[in-house]
Structures are given as C-alpha cells and as structure tokens.
Structure 1
Amino acid sequence: MRLPQWRVTLNARCKRSCYYCRPSGEAVATEAGANLDPDRLLAVAAAVRAQGVDSVKLTGGDPALYEPLVDVVRRLREEAGMRDVEVISRHPRIGELAPALAEAGVTQFNVSLDTLNPQLHREICGPDDHAEVLDAIRACVATGVPVKVNVVVMAGINIPEIDALIDWCEEAGVDSVKLLDIIKDLAEGQESYERRLQIKQKLNLPDLYLPLEDLADGVRSRAVDEEVVQQGGLGHPMTVFTLTSGMKVVIKDSTAGAWYGSVCRGCPLFPCHDALMALRLTADARLQFCLLREDATVDLAPLLDAGDTKAVLARVEAAFEMYAAAYFRKDGTKTTELAEVSR
C-alpha cells in the first residue's frame, strides 16, 4: 500500500508574505488566527497512526508561532507513537525554540532560506529579519538535530545565488539543502501572493518557474554520489547529490512527475504541480487532499468535538484508500506507469 506524507498545518498565518506562498500557508483558505487544538491533533494522529504512518511534518502558517509547539512535539512522540516529527519553519523564533524542541523529540528542523541578500530577503518575504533567520539556522544546527534548508528557486530572482547558498549551508553544518521549483499553478487556488509579486516585480508566478535540470548539472559536478528517491510513497521522484562534506543537495523538480487519484477526475487544473503528494490536516481540522481545491476537503471538526473516534477513524481510513489507488503520471506525458526509483 502506498502511503502519503502526513502534514499538519498548525496555524493559518506566518506573518510574512512570500511570493510563492499563500496567506494560509500549506492549507486551503483558512480563517486568519486559526490554531489547531492539540487534542484534536492527537485524536487525528491516532487515526493516521492506525493506517501505518509513523511520521508527521508540522507546517503552517508557521509552527514557530504556535504556542503549544514543544508540548505537541512531545505528545506526538510519546502518545501518538510518531517515529519522526519534522518542524518546517521560516520564522527566526524557531532558533529560540530549537533546544526545547530537540529535548521534546523533534527529529528534523526544516528552515527556509531563499537568498543571502538581506534586501532581497525583505522583498521576497516582507520582514527585515534576514540576519535573525541565519542565526536561527545556526541555533537549530547547534542542537545536533538534522537540519534541512529549503530554497525555492525563482527565475530572475535568486538563480545567481544558488551555489553561494549551498556553500553557506555546508559551512554552517546543515544536513541537507532542498532546491524546489515554483508551484506555478498556486494562484489557481483561492489564495496567493501573486498580486504582491505583480506589484513588486511586475511578474506572475509562472514567470518565476524554471525546470531545475540545469541546476542539477551544476551540483552533479561537485558531488561524490547521486541517487533518485521519493519522499514517502507518493512524492515526486527527487535527485539527491552527496557532497564531499557529506551534506546532501536534494532537487525537487515537478517535471519528474506526480501521483493522482480519484479526487483528480474531471479537475480543470489536471495535471497540477503537487497532486496527491500528501494528506494534510488544516488548522481548522479539515483533511485536505489538494493544495488548490476547497471542495476536496473533509471536515473532521464536528466529529472531533463530539468525541466520535470511530467516525474519525473511518474518515481517515477512507482517505487513505484513495491514496492506495493513486497512479503516477510523468509531467507532459500520458503515461500512468511509475518510473523506477530507489527508496
């Protein structure tokens, strides 16, 4: 059975406005100020764990701004039996929380860094806190917990800096750097910051997109090992290069293909960027299959509030059945055959 990643959007806002994101972060449109109740989260975690998933990625919004974060990490490890708990943040406060999170059992920090230029950082994100973000990455590294740095590659914005970003992360002791392509269809959903991009750069999201093949060639020249992996059972095939230092550079290019399921039938956005990569739980307790469609969600809040654990388990089990029947499609082709990838 192919299992999706499980990603939990803990809150609905991150206090920044990056071009390539949306106000609600990873969630479909969610009311500002929404925060996921920890008991709701743990109840859904039990149902997800019953399906064989033992890892969770905590996203937002921004987990660093979610007050119960340290306690939730501990409960996910100790009560829900999660083997891996990854915290994904772009806020400097993650550095302040890093020691407590490490003690609570977080297994990976994931911090975003798209530029080494403070002025460009402010233009991309909004806040003027570039130095604090760098310090936060160093603080996470200092805990001894593996640190991944996400870099969103944007044509005309940060391409000349990619090598320097990799070098900075290598010197800082980062475990891995992940280069991601732009979600060029993000603005097809109800929320995006594309209007801000149009005002600042006079560009649209698709203008920032480029396949990452050329970058892969550059990283390949300095690597000692190369492999192709999938993140979870339904992620994009990704190329992973290991540098002489041991740091890994992961290239996630959506043109490598994605997984689709029954919820995708008849969708005007098919084929899309991420498809069924993950099952998400939103800050207002909805199961979310798709980044772009409001109609493709399952509201668990009434069942959770009623304490109907059997119904919650049934809804989660039904969601996993759709992922089990997913099929792979390489971008731009009509094939539904899965390319061979090593795990």
Structure 2
Amino acid sequence: MRRLPQWRVTVNSRCKRSCFYCRPSGEAVATESGTDLDPDRLLAVAAAVKAQGVDSVKLTGGDPALYGPLVDVVRRLREEAGMREVEVISRHPRIGELAPALAEAGVTQFNVSLDTLDPDLHREICGPDDHAEVLDAIRACVATGLPVKVNVVVMSGINTPEIEPLIGWCEEAGVDSVKLLDIIKDLGEGAESYERRLQIKRKMNLPDLYVPLENLAEGLRKRAVAEQVVQQGGLGHPMTVFTMPSGTKVVVKDSTAGAWYGAVCRGCPLFPCHDALMALRLTADARLQFCLLREDVTVDLAPLLDAGDTKGVAAHVEAAFEMYAAADFRKHAEPTELAGVSR
C-alpha cells in the first residue's frame, strides 16, 4: 500500500493565545501575523491533493475558530473538493459557538485542546482566562453528535498528576477520544516559539517538560478493554490506542516509538527530530511545508496559484507525495542512522 501523509492546512497564522509549548504561527513555520488563507487557493490545492489519493483534511492554525470563512470553506471542501473527512482542530472557545453550523456544513470530527482542569494553570499555560468557556465548547461539540477528540500535552512538573482526572472528565462529557502527546522538545530550534514564557514563568526550557509516556501507557493498559497500534496512512509515529470500559479511546502518541524520514531530511542538523515526516501542510500564505522546524524546505505555491497554473501546483504536490512514499522508518532507540541522512 502506498504511504500517504496526512494533509493539514493552517488556515490562519495566529490563535490569540500563547501556550508555552507552542509557537506564534501554530503548526506553520513562521508566517506573518494576520495572514488568512484565501479559500480559492485552498480549494485549488485540495484538488491536487485529492488527485494523489488523499480525501481527508485537518484544518488547524493559528486557530480555525478565528478564521472568518471557516463554515463556507468546510462546505466547499466537502461538496466541491470531494473531501470525505474534514477535521477541525481548535483550542479557542469560539469553536463551541460554531459547532452546530460546522456540523451542518460537513465537519466529520472536532479536535479541541485541554491540558488541565485547573483554571489558574490553564491561564498560565495559554494566556487567556477562559477555562470554563473551553469546557463549554467541548460540551457543545459533543452535543452535535459528531466525534470529538481532546488533545492533552503531557508536561513534567506542570500537569502530569492531572492526566487520569482529565481522561475521566472527558469520559463523563462523552468525548470520543483523548490523545496524549509528549512535548516537542526541539520546537524551540525553529524560527519562533513561546519558550521564553516558560523560562520566565517556570525557569524551564521545553526539553525540561518532556515526559516519557511508557508509564502512563502501562497504567492505561491495566484498565483498557482493548489495545491496538495505529498509524495514519502508514506514516507518522506508531500510536497505541487504548479503549476504556466507558468506550472512550485514549491515544498515546510517544515520539520515541520512531518516525519517518525522507530526502528532505538529508543533512538536517536537527535529525533525528521529534516530528519528522508525518504530514504535508499548507500554510496560511500558501506554502507546502514538510516539517515544523525548517522554512528553507518549504515550497511557495502562491505565484502558481495566483497565475491559475493548476498544472504547476499539481506537479509540486505530486513531487511532495513521492517524497513521503519513499521515506524510511527509523526507530529512535536504534543507534544506527537513516541511510543517506547525516547529523
């Protein structure tokens, strides 16, 4: 089976929060503040992606809840681009207000971040004092009847005692799945991050927050009624999925399980990085982005899109997909390095 990346679209460049494990541009490499992705550009790239066999998209940012044309874009991705799945990933309470309209437009899953049940700690991590509103937003998404996933970044010295209570709250709220993620230790190596906030508030750096997830996984294993290992499209980190007696699934994404690396990784000083090749991203300023940390390997599609050069866009997208198809898996515990890739 051909290995296919996730397709993730950063629809805008700012989310109006400043989580200290994240960056101002969110999932995108550094992008100018106030940038919104033009819907027609997005639909043109969607056509090229669909031609490569991918019919699902994850809308992220920034924050899609603050993207004006979000509802219309979701409808167009479903009806015009033929996307089978459209997932919206948000950490802003406005996603709850938009949830009914998004469900009607064709969203197939909501994904909301929640790192703590403590309002004061939430404010410290994120900036805004809107913890109660975020909880209400999760409930509003659940009320649509669509699957809801809650992302939890596990951070040493910050929220590790809360992981079990967080899972319990999600079970009671009717959340379909909870995803536990370890900290992206090398995020501070990119062009921008909020690590400075962490240094000021806690006198810590991002690597200090890293928690190996094996112990958490072992505790979940004892309570689970089922367990499986999954990857998306044959790429990304292998993730263990535990089904709890309540029916809620807990997904453990442990970066030490290994990752995929390709030609674009050759000679990278950050190899082996935390994220590697798990998704092809489209940024708000219309660049194809292969990894979270390097701007020098992005592909600027804006000139081709503005010129209406659909063949040129399709050629770049096809070349990107071929790189993922040729990627190699590396277990991070292995001492040997990926062939052709040097530190």
TM-score surpassing 0.5? yes
Which structure 2 segments of 5+ residues have no match? none
What is the match of residue 305 of structure 2?
Answer: 304
Q: CA deviation at 1:336?
A: 5.7
What is the match of residue 38 of structure 1?
Answer: 39
SS in 2 for 1:221: helix
Which structure 1 segments of 5+ residues have no match? 338-343
Counterpart residue identity of residue 201, structure 1: R
What is the match of residue 4 of structure 2?
Answer: 3
SS in 2 for 1:95: helix
What is the match of residue 158 of structure 1?
Answer: 159
1:139-180 CA deviation, whole Å, 9 max, x = no partner? 000000100000000000000000000000000000000000
SS in 2 for 1:61: coil
What is the match of residue 237 of structure 2?
Answer: 236
Note if 1:94 corresponds to 2:98. no
| Structure 2 Cα separation of the partners of residues 180 and 331 of structure 1 | 16
| Structure 1 Cα separation of the partners of residues 233 and 248 of structure 2 | 20
Q: CA deviation at 1:19?
A: 1.1
Note if 1:222 corresponds to 2:230. no
Counterpart residue identity of residue 4, structure 2: L
1:101-136 CA deviation, whole Å, 9 max, x = no partner? 000000000000000000000000000000000000
What is the match of residue 340 of structure 1?
Answer: none
Counterpart residue identity of residue 232, structure 1: G
Alignment of 1:237-316 (within 5 A): 237-316=238-317
What is the match of residue 133 of structure 1?
Answer: 134
1:31-84 CA deviation, whole Å, 9 max, x = no partner? 000000000000000000000000000000000000100000000001001001
| Structure 1 Cα separation of the partners of residues 191 and 264 of structure 2 | 18
Runs of 4+ in 1 over 6 A off after TM superposition: none
Note if 1:107 corresponds to 2:102. no
1:253-293 CA deviation, whole Å, 9 max, x = no partner? 00000000000000000000111100000000000001000
| Structure 2 Cα separation of the partners of residues 214 and 19 of structure 1 | 24
What is the match of residue 201 of structure 2?
Answer: 200
Alignment of 1:78-93 (within 5 A): 78-93=79-94
Counterpart residue identity of residue 155, structure 2: M
| Structure 1 Cα separation of the partners of residues 232 and 308 of structure 2 | 33
Q: CA deviation at 1:335?
A: 6.7
| Structure 2 Cα separation of the partners of residues 273 and 232 of structure 1 | 19
| Structure 1 Cα separation of the partners of residues 233 and 160 of structure 2 | 28
| Structure 1 Cα separation of the partners of residues 154 and 20 of structure 2 | 12
| Structure 1 Cα separation of the partners of residues 130 and 87 of structure 2 | 23
SS in 2 for 1:235: strand
Note if 1:23 corresponds to 2:33. no
Percent of aligned pairs with the same residue? 86
Could you tell me whether the CA contact under 8 Å between 1:11 and 1:33 is conserved in 2?
yes
| Structure 1 Cα separation of the partners of residues 154 and 122 of structure 2 | 13
Could you tell me whether the CA contact under 8 Å between 1:185 and 1:206 is conserved in 2?
yes
Counterpart residue identity of residue 246, structure 1: G
SS in 2 for 1:76: helix
What is the match of residue 75 of structure 2?
Answer: 74
What is the match of residue 179 of structure 2?
Answer: 178
SS in 1 for 2:138: helix
Could you tell me whether the CA contact under 8 Å between 1:35 and 1:66 is conserved in 2?
yes
| Structure 1 Cα separation of the partners of residues 337 and 290 of structure 2 | 22
SS in 2 for 1:57: strand
Counterpart residue identity of residue 179, structure 1: L
What is the match of residue 148 of structure 1?
Answer: 149
| Structure 2 Cα separation of the partners of residues 335 and 102 of structure 1 | 45
| Structure 2 Cα separation of the partners of residues 96 and 231 of structure 1 | 30
| Structure 2 Cα separation of the partners of residues 122 and 222 of structure 1 | 32
Q: CA deviation at 1:332?
A: 3.0
Alignment of 1:110-121 (within 5 A): 110-121=111-122
Q: CA deviation at 1:211?
A: 1.1
1:169-228 CA deviation, whole Å, 9 max, x = no partner? 000000000000000000000010011100011000000001100100111121100111
SS in 1 for 2:199: helix
Superposition TM-score, scaled by structure 1 size:
0.97
Q: CA deviation at 1:232?
A: 2.8
Aligned residues: 337
CA RMSD of superposed structures (Å):
0.9
Superposition TM-score, scaled by structure 2 size:
0.97
Note if 1:322 corresponds to 2:320. no
Counterpart residue identity of residue 103, structure 2: A
